[in-house]
Chains A and B, each alone.
Chain A
Amino acid sequence: MAIIPLERKPLTLAERTYIPQILGGLKTTLARLLKPTETLEYPEQRPAIPSGYRGVPTLVRDPNGREKCVSCQLCEFVCPPKAIRITPGSIPVDAPTAHVEKAPQAFDIDMLRCIYCGLCQEVCPEEAIFLQAQYSMSGYTREEMVNHKDRLYELGGTLPDQHHKWDKKLAAEKHGNAH
């Protein structure tokens, strides 16, 4: 590429006084002043959350109300800031979902540590943990900022999927062909 020397025109007298430029600037700022404001007045007006937003991590249930988490602890191990702490527990043998075998006894996510990376959601083999639309967390103490299991399910709600992976597995097992 050849270098093209551009001729820089000397400033005219009007330009050197800056007055036309300043008047132009005044026009711009006045137009801005008369326009409606851009601000979202937060507590009253909430932003529209786009789908796929990574808010507070939550636990979900399946359409039958079964908790999807089987406490495999993959999310606990993958969590970069070590925000997740799971105490695995077993499902009582007389429960209707006894064939799932395991469920978390305790599931705590420390929101003071969470970095909202979404790795827990990505790693979960059971589609049990999701980062959902809630973005505002506050509390007066450190303890209040730890989401316990019941709170996580309350925030998470139900995932309306129709996989019913464990029911199919149970049905296949009864036919004598588990895999």
Chain B
Amino acid sequence: MSDFFFQLHPVIQGLIKGLAVIAVIFPIAGICSMAERKVSAWIQGRPGPNRAIPFWFAWVPVLGPFLQRLGIFHVMADGGKMLFKEDSLPGHVNKFYFILAPIVAMMPALTTVTAVPFGAYFDPAGRTIPLGLAPVDVGLLAVFAVSSLGVYSLILAGWASNSKYPFLGGVRASAQLISYELSLTLSVIPVFLWINAPGTEGTMSLARAVEFQSQPGFLGGTWFIFLMPVSALVFLISLFAETNRLPFDMAEGEADLVGGFHTEYGAFKWGLFFVAEYSHMLIGSGIFTLLFLGGWNPLPWLSLGQFAALLHVAHLPLAVGVLSIVIFLGKVLAMIFFFMWVRWTVPRFRYDQVMKLGWQKLLPLAIANLLFYAIAIAVIQK
């Protein structure tokens, strides 16, 4: 089976891998939308959506009612509605850019996935081979470069809608995304300063960052969230701002901007914005996990290799690969839950507070953090 796969043309191999990843991301994005509604409900003391069920599924004894209570069928109803309802195009919009905007939103969201490794296995020689679509050495740089293109979709959507509220939403969103990108990028530099010790091969690869956190010894196995808590905090806050999540929900601002940049959108085009937002969240959580939470290592100071040896599966590449993907996805989903949890805890900032926090607090903090670690790493690594 695997021999057959490796004999295929590399383009076909890539195509299959890409489709497999999309086939995982889309359902996760859909389930995230339901998880969002469920977590909101539970935090507010409600049971959440729990009614929809196809009549033939209601006959399944225990599983049917259980899935009904979980609201699984609401996901399908939502998706079906989004696909099949009339996709109206308002008469006053710039049609070309109006249709282009949701497509532009999806592109960076799906492109960044290629540079994110999501698992690893050990080859017979004992080396760690990361699992990912494109094992590029620029890793994080590629992700940052492409994901910052996502702001164009908001600007395009806001501008092409030719309407006040979407325009304001687009302006707000673009200013916010550009402000927090600085802190986001500055906060991860210490991590790579520490990884790229003198004498080693220079890399920006995310897989290398995980490998660095799975070394033996106390310091080697320490996750970066413990080594560089300020970096992690700045990165996390900027991530909330970059993904337009509450408390930085300026782009949508339901109370003051109707629906923000996507006010004029509906049906499938709106759904694309929605999936793009969740994909951004997934990828952002993935990068946070890789950089600061030890990637696919199950626990701090317990690397994937040791864990696989404990379970006696270290010699089976397939088992190790699946195990690593499960651990990584588990951490990413925990991060997604954290996003939702914060949403119902911290109230939305005012726009001037967002700007003040970004430029006057986070950016100086990120720079000071960078200087501190630059000097400390220079002293330690000589």
Residue of B nearest to A39 (CB): B46
From 38 to 81 in chain B, residues with beta carbon under 8 angstroms from any chain A beta carbon are: 39, 41-47
Task: Give Cα A26 to B339, complex, Å.
Answer: 11
Task: Give Cα A37 to B38, complex, Å.
Answer: 12
| Beta-carbon contact of B344 and A29 below 8 Å | yes
Residue of A nearest to B344 (CB): A29
Is there a chain A Cβ closer than 8 Å to B226's Cβ?
A: no
User: How near does chain B come to A155, taking the closest CB pair, in angstroms?
Assistant: 29
| Beta-carbon contact of A32 and B346 below 8 Å | no
User: How near does chain A come to B187, taking the closest CB pair, in angstroms?
Assistant: 16
Is there a chain A Cβ closer than 8 Å to B26's Cβ?
A: no
| Beta-carbon contact of A29 and B45 below 8 Å | no
| Beta-carbon contact of A37 and B45 below 8 Å | yes
| Beta-carbon contact of A22 and B346 below 8 Å | yes
User: How near does chain A come to B220, taking the closest CB pair, in angstroms?
Assistant: 29
User: How near does chain A come to B66, taking the closest CB pair, in angstroms?
Assistant: 16
Task: Give Cα A38 to B45, complex, Å.
Answer: 5
We find that the number of chain A residues with CB closer than 8 angstroms to chain B is 14
| Beta-carbon contact of B45 and A35 below 8 Å | yes
Is there a chain A Cβ closer than 8 Å to B341's Cβ?
A: yes
Is there a chain A Cβ closer than 8 Å to B342's Cβ?
A: yes
Task: Give Cα A37 to B43, complex, Å.
Answer: 9
Task: Give Cα A38 to B47, complex, Å.
Answer: 8
User: How near does chain A come to B165, taking the closest CB pair, in angstroms?
Assistant: 30
Residue of A nearest to B40 (CB): A33
From 150 to 178 in chain A, residues with beta carbon under 8 angstroms from any chain B beta carbon are: none
Q: Chain A residues near B41 (CB, 8 Å)?
A: 37
Q: Chain B residues near A64 (CB, 8 Å)?
A: none
Is there a chain B Cβ closer than 8 Å to A141's Cβ?
A: no
Interface centre among A25, A29, A37 (most CB of B within 10 A): A29
Task: Give Cα A35 to B45, complex, Å.
Answer: 8
| Beta-carbon contact of A37 and B342 below 8 Å | no
User: How near does chain A come to B58, taking the closest CB pair, in angstroms?
Assistant: 15
| Beta-carbon contact of A33 and B39 below 8 Å | yes
Q: Chain B residues near A38 (CB, 8 Å)?
A: 45-46
Q: Chain B residues near A39 (CB, 8 Å)?
A: 45-47
Task: Give Cα A65 to B44, complex, Å.
Answer: 50
User: How near does chain B come to A45, taking the closest CB pair, in angstroms?
Assistant: 11
| Beta-carbon contact of B345 and A25 below 8 Å | yes
Q: Chain A residues near B233 (CB, 8 Å)?
A: 19
Q: Chain A residues near B44 (CB, 8 Å)?
A: 32
Residue of B nearest to A26 (CB): B345
User: How near does chain B come to A158, taking the closest CB pair, in angstroms?
Assistant: 39
Residue of A nearest to B343 (CB): A29
Q: Chain B residues near A33 (CB, 8 Å)?
A: 39, 42-43, 341
Our pick among B45, B46, B341, B346 for the contact of A30 (Cβ within 8 Å) is: B341
| Beta-carbon contact of A32 and B341 below 8 Å | no
Residue of B nearest to A31 (CB): B43
29 contacts between A and B (CB under 8 A): A19-B233, A22-B342, A22-B345, A22-B346, A25-B345, A26-B342, A26-B345, A28-B345, A29-B43, A29-B341, A29-B344, A29-B345, A30-B341, A32-B42, A32-B43, A32-B44, A33-B39, A33-B42, A33-B43, A33-B341, A35-B45, A37-B42, A37-B45, A37-B47, A38-B45, A38-B46, A39-B45, A39-B46, A39-B47
The 3 tightest CB contacts between A and B, nearest first, are A38-B45, A25-B345, A33-B42
